[in-house]
């Protein structure tokens, strides 16, 4: 009989406590105890990136993290990016038709989101390719994925500038 362990974490902005076998990975807890099925189970070796989530803001393959290692930490999944407004990465992936079968897409989006937040500026295709080297896609050939990430980086930078630049006329119109 397997030992059970309790784990407390902040999942997509909500404090949760979950019990699972001590040997389970964060991926298994997310999918099979917390119903976060956007996190895909791919290789179970950390090679494909399909299970990428953010752990305290850093992109990690959740198949390589024991659930116990997430105890007391913040875990962000692709489900957290849903909202009233379309997330810039979702919009860019849609515009570029960057998803084919979609299996790899959540992991790529989570890796790109963590990286783009850290970088905070528009990026090049070469930079995006290097940043997403740990995420594999068998359908697309990456061209449209890289287009989407580059586009999203520009959208984010533009939105950040508009929100902070007092000379921006749209800031005045918004009461800024």
What is the pLDDT tens value at each position of the chain, 176 positions in all? Answer: 579 999 999 999 999 999 999 999 999 999 999 999 999 999 999 999 999 999 999 999 999 999 999 999 999 999 999 888 899 999 999 999 999 999 999 999 999 999 999 999 999 999 999 999 999 999 988 999 999 999 999 987 776 666 554 544 444 444 44
Look at residue 2 in the predicted model and tell me its pLDDT. 73
The predicted pLDDT at position 164 comes to 55
- Give backbone dihedrals phi and psi of 7, rounded to 5 degrees, phi first: -135, 130
Q: Report the alpha-carbon distance of residue 55 to residue 61 in Å, rounded.
A: 9
In the sheet where 74-76 sits, what is the strand order? 14-21, 4-11, 74-76, 52-55, 58-61
CATH no., domain 88-165: 1.10.150.120
∠ CA 126-82-123, nearest 5°, is 15
Q: Which residue has the tokens 């494909």?
A: 48
- Phi/psi for 42 (5° steps) reads -110, -95
Give me 154's structure tokens: 């520009």
Tokens of 102: 């979609």
Instruction: Report how far residue 11's alpha carbon sits from residue 21's, in angstroms, rounded to the nearest whole number.
Output: 19
Residue with tokens 């520009």: 154
CATH superfamily, domain 4-81, is: Beta-grasp domain (3.10.20.30)
Beta bridge partners of 17: 8
- For the chain, the domains span 4-81, 88-165
Number of C-beta neighbours around residue 122 at 10 A: 16
């Amino acid at each position: 009989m397997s030992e059970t362990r309790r784990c407390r974490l902040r999942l997509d902005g909500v404090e949760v406590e979950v019990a699972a076998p001590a040997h389970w990975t964060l991926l298994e807890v997310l999918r099979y105890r917390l119903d976060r099925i956007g996190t895909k189970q791919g290789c179970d070796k950390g090679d494909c990136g399909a299970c990428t989530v953010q752990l305290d803001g850093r992109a990690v393959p959740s198949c390589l993290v024991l659930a116990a290692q997430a105890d007391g930490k913040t875990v962000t999944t692709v489900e957290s990016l849903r909202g009233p407004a379309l997330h810039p990465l979702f919009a860019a992936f849609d515009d570029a038709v960057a998803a084919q079968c979609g299996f790899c897409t959540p992991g790529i989006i989570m890796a790109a989101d963590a990286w783009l937040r850290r970088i905070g500026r528009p990026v090049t295709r070469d930079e995006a390719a290097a940043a997403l080297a740990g995420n594999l896609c068998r359908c697309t050939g990456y061209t449209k994925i890289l287009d989407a990430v580059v586009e999203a980086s520009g959208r984010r930078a533009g939105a950040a500038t508009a929100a902070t630049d007092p000379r921006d006329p749209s800031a005045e119109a918004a009461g800024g």
